[in-house]
Amino acid sequence: MKQVLQLLYMSLISLLLMGLIININPIHSDEVEILMNERSLKDSSIMMKPPCKIEYTQHTWIPSKPINAKIKVSMENNTYTVLTIILVFKHGGFRVKWNSPKVLDNEINIYVEVEEWTGESMQIITKKENSYNLGILNPGTYTVKLYVNEKLFSEETFKIQDLSTTLTSTTPTNTTYPGEQEINDMKYLFIGIGAAIFILIVILIKILKPR
41: phi then psi, degrees, rounded to nearest 5: -65, -40
Measure the CA–CA gap between 175 and 147, rounded to whole angstroms: 17
Residues of the chain under the 50 pLDDT cut: 20-22, 24-25, 27, 32, 170-178
Does residue 41 lie in a domain region?
Answer: no
Each residue of 73-82: pLDDT tens digit?
A: 998 887 889 9
Helix or strand run (H / E) with residue 189: helix 178-208
Measure the CA–CA gap between 78 and 160, rounded to whole angstroms: 11
pLDDT on residue 200 = 78
Does residue 208 lie in a domain region?
Answer: no
Does residue 46 lie in a domain region?
Answer: no
- Residue 101 DSSP code: P
pLDDT on residue 8 = 60
pLDDT on residue 178 = 47
pLDDT on residue 175 = 43
Does residue 148 lie in a domain region?
Answer: yes
Each residue of 2-35: pLDDT tens digit?
A: 565 566 657 666 655 555 444 544 545 555 455 5
Does residue 43 lie in a domain region?
Answer: no
pLDDT on residue 88 = 98
Residue 43, by phi and psi: left (phi above 0), alpha (psi -120 to 50) or beta?
Answer: alpha
Number of domains in the chain: 1
Residue ranges making up the domain that contains 165: 61-180
Does residue 193 lie in a domain region?
Answer: no
Largest CA distance in the chain: 151
Measure the CA–CA gap between 12 and 18, rounded to whole angstroms: 10
Does residue 39 lie in a domain region?
Answer: no
pLDDT on residue 177 = 43
